[in-house]
Amino acid sequence: MTRQEILAQLEPLDWKKDTREPRVQKARTLLWYDIEIKRENNGLYTISKIDIADSKTKIFENVRSEKDAKEIAWAMYVNQATVTFGAL
């Protein structure tokens, strides 16, 4: 598949607030991980991957805004999908 074909197949990330932690939003992906964005006490955001074993790995820290965090998460997701599904 080409990158454009993959982009056409990917649904936008659907961010849901975590009912247990109001500063956290999570989005499911088609890959082996989901994505979490957390607003830290300093007002900056952290982006983490949560794998199928529910293990969390921080990917980016000190992101300035929720909008930036969501854009970074989307770019990360698209890039991984491109690698996973073999786009050139």
CA gap 41, 29 in Å, rounded: 27
Quick: pLDDT tens for 22-33.
999 999 999 999
Single out the residue of 29, 26, 24 nearest to residue 79, CA to CA: 29
Quick: pLDDT tens for 7-19.
888 889 999 999 9
pTM as predicted: 0.89
Quick: pLDDT tens for 25-78.
999 999 999 999 999 999 999 999 999 999 999 999 999 999 999 999 999 999
Q: Give the pLDDT score at 88.
A: 53
Q: Amino acid letter at 6?
A: I
